[in-house]
Amino acid sequence: MDIDSKLATHLQTIPRSGIRDFFELVIGRDDVISLGVGEPDFATPWSIREAAIYSLEKGETSYTSNLGLLSLREKISEYVDDFFHVSYDAHSEVLITVGVSEALDLALRALLNPGDEVIYHEPCYVSYSPSIVMAHGVAVPVATTKEDGFSLKPNALAAAITSKTKIVMLNFPTNPTGAVASKEDLEGIAKLCVEHDLIVLSDEIYSELRYDEQEHVSIATLPGMRDRTILLHGFSKAFAMTGFRLGYACAPAPLIEAMMKIHQYGILCAPITSQAAALEALSGGHNLYAPMKNEYHQRRDFLVGRLNGMGIDCHCPGGAFYVFPDIRRFGLSSKDFALGLLEAEQVAAVPGDAFGKSGEGFLRCCYATGMDDLKAAMDAMERYIGTLS
Ligand SMILES: Cc1ncc(COP(=O)(O)O)c(C=O)c1O
């Protein structure tokens, strides 16, 4: 049987992830220092793990409400009010999902008709374009530049809007650049969304991980935006809970209701053990993630300092745990640079074009890696570029 011909046509247009391709070269090699994988190098804080264990000990092994435990939705509503300064009703405006990944997929599938366009800023998280295509939408990337701090500029957004645009997807702080949008840029974007009656999907998964004291501004707080924004957040990054697979969406009730329809038939509910763990994460809040955040902050400063010091231009990202140095001056493609670094020095970083065409000429280095490895990786990078110039 020709299985390929049986596969859904829209799936065939989706390429394999560039990260996966690259990391298949690294798998099984324990001589490699990896700056590749975008997940915390810390184990989940002990009190959170203990809460999960205790929940199991108590025999909490059932399904929960489709929306998630009411006690957790109430805690999320309080946390979001306090942290993002926007309020949502725990009964009808909060949906607990299997990571932000599921929330993103639900939102796109709940909103898109075939041919609807979704604008997003690029370089971006690898799953955005495939998720849009899998929901039968049309992915419309808008390139951002190092010169603009990789923020989405309102005029660039305006130029991409057509009569078919339905959603604008935002992700600040950004994976892979660490970019943070200014309040002015967000206000300009919000104004356009109101003018053109667009929905905003705002993936704020890295919002706790901002450095330099600046306050996180959620677009949902800007005039006219709460009722047209789906705010996505989760536990994977700040609380180092990637394996718990827990996220949530906050939005006006009709949007949550529509996402719920897909969630209840496809997933039923997020795992109860993870929900028990998340309750503890939100009770501990800032105190639990602050030590990790302090460590990331030091690592960011170290990496930016070393890269610029060796002549690799690297903007100082305001958040997340990535730096995105500019390697264009070496005259190699991102992929060739990264492959060369891997072969010569056994250091793995992700070629920037894995995050979209506008990432070409850059490299993503994740600093959710211990300081000793970061030091060794930077020494290796300096030796490697010495062989290029
Ligand atoms: C921007 C962004 N959104 C969403 C996700 C997925 O997160 P989760 O583990 O909550 O599914 C990631 C993971 O790397 C990410 O970087």
Three-state SS string over 266-321 comes to HCCCCCHHHHHHHHHHHHHCHHHHHHHHHHHHHHHHHHHHHHHHCCCECCCCCECC
Regions of the chain where pLDDT drops below 50: none
pTM of the entire predicted model? 0.96
Ligand 1 centroid vs 211 CA: distance in angstroms?
19
What is the structure's pLDDT at 389?
Answer: 67
pLDDT tens, residue by residue, 263-276: 999 999 999 999 99
Ligand 1 site, residue 125, Cβ cutoff 6 A:
yes
User: In terms of domains, do 218 and 120 share one?
Assistant: yes
pLDDT digits 0-9 by tens, 333-387:
999 999 999 999 999 999 999 999 999 999 999 999 999 999 999 999 999 999 9
| Residue 197 maps to a domain | yes
52 contact partners, CB below 8 Å, separation of at least 6: 244, 273, 274, 276, 277, 280
Characterize the bridge pairing of strands 247-250 and 94-97.
antiparallel
Of the three residues 256, 284, 312, the one that is the final residue of a domain is 284
Supply the CATH number for residue 163's domain. Answer: 3.40.640.10
Among protein residues, the one whose CA lies closest to atom 13 of ligand 1: 38
- Residue that finishes a domain, picked among 232, 267, 284: 284
Domain final position from 254, 284, 314: 284
- Report the CATH number that the domain containing residue 351 is assigned in CATH: 3.90.1150.10
pLDDT at 121 (0 to 100): 98
Q: Are residues 219 and 307 in the same domain?
A: no
> Ligand 1 centroid vs 299 CA: distance in angstroms?
21
Residue 37 CB–ligand 1 contact under 6 Å: no
Same domain, 79 and 122: yes
Together in a domain, 117 and 217: yes
For residues 215 and 328, membership in a common domain is answered with: no
Q: Specify whether 112 is located in the same domain as 251.
A: yes
Residues 275 and 375 grouped into a single domain: no
Residue percentage of the chain with pLDDT more than 90? 89
The boundaries of the domain holding residue 9 are 3-44+287-388
Helix, strand, or coil (residue 167): strand
Q: Does 223 share its domain with 116?
A: yes
> Do 258 and 122 share a domain, yes or no?
yes
CB-based contact 167:108 (threshold 8 Å): yes
- Count: domains in the chain: 2
Cα-flanking dihedrals φ and ψ of residue 29, to 5°?
-100, 105
Answer whether residue 129 is part of any domain: yes
pLDDT digits (tens, 9 = 90+) for 214-257: 789 999 999 999 999 999 999 999 999 999 999 999 999 999 99
Measured CA to CA, the distance from residue 63 to residue 51 in angstroms comes to 18
Q: Clarify whether residues 276 and 291 are in a common domain.
A: no
Query: In this structure, are 111 and 9 located in the same domain?
Result: no
Question: Is 100 touching ligand 1 by the criterion CB < 6 Å?
Answer: yes
Collapsed DSSP state (helix, strand, coil) of residue 349: coil
